[in-house]
Structure 1
Amino acid sequence: MVRFLIRAAIFLVTAALGLLVASWILPDFNIEWGGFLVATLVFAIAQSVLSPFIFKMAHRYAPAIIGGIGLVSTFVALLIASLFPSGIQITGGVVTWVLATLIVWLVTALGAWLLPLIFLKRKAGARDEG
């Protein structure tokens, strides 16, 4: 249970970081600070629900795109999160959407890969000592 909570916290932190990095890099990607928490939660929940669904659909109907599942789910999660008022606003065109998807996906993928190595390894080490 503790491991699940750590992974959920890591996912929320990486989602927030991904959104922040995109807002810093892309001028047409704006975050309203009052709705940042809601946007992060909506994005993280949408992505965690959509990833397995999109994977299942792609596996069944379009196996060639299985490698891009993370990008597709990130794009759809950004789209859903942008529908909520006072959160994120992506006012640019297709280029901004594509770059935002790539940036957020890259940050969340790196965070989801690196942070568990740090935090879960530390937790396992503390458990072994005790």
Structure 2
Amino acid sequence: MTALLKSVAISAAANAAALAVAAWLFDRFNIRFGWFVVAVVLFTALTVVLRGVVVSTVNRFARGYTIAGGLVLTLLGLVLTDLVVPASGFAIDGVGTWIGVTLIVWAAGIAFGEVDSAPPPKR
């Protein structure tokens, strides 16, 4: 398995687990199984692309910006997923739910980054 495929598979697993936990914890985050698969694939694709862009453009020593950027990109990925997937299959309602889901999925992304062995893209 290539490093990229391994990285995407680990990312998808982390995203699936994080979205499942978030849906279980928050009553105002609803996701249906069939759409769950679509949401995980879409969100993973978005975050892998966005992560590549951030890693290749942000100075590796700017850790604070990377953390804030990760939160923003996680939120952006969730917003785009929420816009693409029909509300009957994926819906996040309420500011508190958006914040909580974003933090859970972001934390899973941090954990993913710790186990992902793929090297960052060359600058």
AA of the residue aligned to 2:51: S
Residue 96 of structure 2: aligned partner = 95
Structure number, greater radius of gyration: 1
1:63-122 deviation line (CA, Å, top 9, x unaligned): 96443111111100011111111532102x2111111100111123213423x47xx9xx
Residue 31 of structure 1: aligned partner = 31
Residue 70 of structure 2: aligned partner = 70
Equivalences, count: 113
Cα RMSD for the two superposed structures: 2.6
Which structure is richer in relative contact order (CA contacts within 8 A, separation 6 or more)?
A: 2
Query: Could you say what secondary structure the match of 2:91 adopts?
Result: strand
Task: State the alpha-carbon separation in 2 of the partners of residues 9 and 113 from structure 1.
Answer: 14
Task: State the alpha-carbon separation in 2 of the partners of residues 110 and 54 from structure 1.
Answer: 17
Select between 13-22 and 48-57 the one with higher mean Cα deviation.
Answer: 48-57
Identity %: 34
Task: State the alpha-carbon separation in 2 of the partners of residues 10 and 58 from structure 1.
Answer: 23
Query: TM-score, length-normalised on structure 2?
Result: 0.76
Query: Could you say what secondary structure the match of 1:89 adopts?
Result: strand
Select between 50-59 and 16-25 the one with higher mean Cα deviation.
Answer: 50-59
Query: TM-score, length-normalised on structure 1?
Result: 0.73
The alignment status of 1:17 with 2:17, answered yes or no, reads yes
Task: State the alpha-carbon separation in 1 of the partners of residues 8 and 30 from structure 2.
Answer: 25
More helix by share: 1
Q: Is the 8 A contact 1:38 1:87 kept in 2?
A: no
